[in-house]
Amino acid sequence: MSGQIPALPESFAPGIDGVFSDRIGFYSLDSNVPGLSKVILNKLNMKDYGEYRAAIEGNTKGGAFRNYKEMFQKMEETFQFCASCNKLPEHLSEGQTLKRCVKCLNVYYCTKECQKKDWPQHKMFCKKLRLVAVDRLVEWLMFTGDLPLTTDKWSLPAAEVKGWDDWLAIQGNLTPRLDAILSSTNMGALWKNASRPRPEDADLRESVWRVESEFLSRALSVGMAIRLFGLDPYFKPLTIHLAGAGLNETMGARLTDFDELDRMFPGHKGLEVVMVGPEVVDGPIMRPPLTNFGPKTKTFISAYKGLYHQFYEDMVETEKAAKPDLVVGFHPGFHATQGLGEGWLPSLLLLRDFNIPSFFTMFNEMELNCSLQILSELEMHIKGSGPNPFSSQKPEQIQACPNKPPSYCNSHFLYFQGLLEQEELEQPDNSRTYWKV
Ligand SMILES: [Zn+2]
Ligand SMILES: [Zn+2]
CA of 43 to the centre of ligand 1 (A): 21
Q: Which of these ranges, 48-52, 72-76, 126-130, 157-161, has the smallest mean pLDDT?
A: 48-52
- Find the ligand nearest to 84 CA: 1
pLDDT at 189: 87
Ligand approaching nearest to the C-alpha of 119: 2
Spacing, Cα 83 to ligand 1 middle (Å)? 7
Ligand 2 centroid from CA 80, angstroms: 13
- Separation of 195 CA from ligand 1 center, angstroms? 21
Confidence of residue 79 (pLDDT cuts 50, 70, 90): confident
Indicate the burial class of 66 (C-beta count within 10 angstroms; 0-12, 13-18, 19 or more): exposed
> What's the gap in Å between 138 CA and the centre of ligand 1?
29
User: Confidence band (pLDDT; 50, 70, 90) for 7?
Assistant: very low
What radius of gyration, in Å, describes the C-alpha atoms of the chain?
A: 23
Residue 93 alpha carbon to ligand 1 centre in Å = 11
Ligand 1 centroid from CA 88, angstroms: 9
Give residue 118 CA to ligand 1 midpoint distance, Å.
9
Q: Is 289 helix (H, G, I), strand (E, B) or coil?
A: coil
SS3 content of the chain, % helix, strand, coil (to 5): 40, 10, 45
What is the structure's pLDDT at 39?
60
Where are the alpha helices (H) located in 172-307, listed in sequence order? Answer: 175-182, 185-193, 201-228, 247-250, 260-264
Q: Rounded to the nearest whole angstrom, what is the distance from the C-alpha of residue 84 to the centroid of ligand 2?
A: 12
Whether residue 54 is predicted with pLDDT greater than 90 in this model: the reply is no
Neighbours of 20 (CB within 10 A): 23
Q: Classify domain 208-423 by CATH number.
A: 3.40.50.150
Please check the confidence at residue 61 and state whether its pLDDT lies above 90. Answer: no
Q: Point out the ligand nearest to the CA of residue 402.
A: 2
Q: How many residues are present in the chain?
A: 437
Which pLDDT belongs to residue 400?
79
From the CA of 132, which ligand is nearest?
Answer: 2
| Least confidently predicted of 136-150, 189-203, 416-430 | 416-430
CA 418 to ligand 1 centroid distance, Å: 52
- CA 216 to centroid of ligand 1, rounded, Å: 39
40-53 residue pLDDT tens: 666 565 666 666 66
pLDDT band at 32 (very low <50, low <70, confident <90, very high): low
Instruction: Give me the sheet containing 326-330, strands edge to edge.
Output: 299-305, 271-277, 238-243, 326-330, 358-362, 412-419, 380-387
Q: How far is the CA of 134 from the centre of ligand 1 (A)?
A: 24
State residue 242's pLDDT score. 97
Banded pLDDT at 3 (limits 50, 70, 90): very low
User: Distance from the CA of 405 to the center of ligand 2, in angstroms?
Assistant: 14
Mean pLDDT of 281-299: 87
CA of 210 to the centre of ligand 2 (A): 20
Phi, psi of 201 (to 5 degrees): -55, -40
For all residues of the chain together, what is the average pLDDT? 84
Whether 65 has a pLDDT exceeding 80, the answer reads no
Alpha carbon of 75 to ligand 2 centroid (Å): 18
Reply yes or no on whether the pLDDT at 241 is more than 90. Answer: yes
Parts of the chain belonging to CATH 3.40.50.150: 208-423
Q: Are strands 380-387 and 358-362 parallel, antiparallel or unpaired?
A: unpaired
Q: How far is the CA of 105 from the centre of ligand 2 (A)?
A: 6
Q: How far apart are the first and last CA of the chain?
A: 67
CA–CA dist 25, 23 (Å, integer): 5
Q: Return the closest-CA partner of residue 168 out of 159, 179, 155.
A: 155
Contact between 331 and 217 under an 8 Å Cβ cutoff? The reply is no
Give distance in angstroms: CA of 60 to centre of ligand 2.
36
Find the 124 Cα to ligand 1 centroid distance in Å.
Answer: 19
- What distance in angstroms lies between residue 65's CA and the mean position of ligand 1's atoms? 30
Name the maximum alpha-carbon separation found in the chain.
Answer: 83
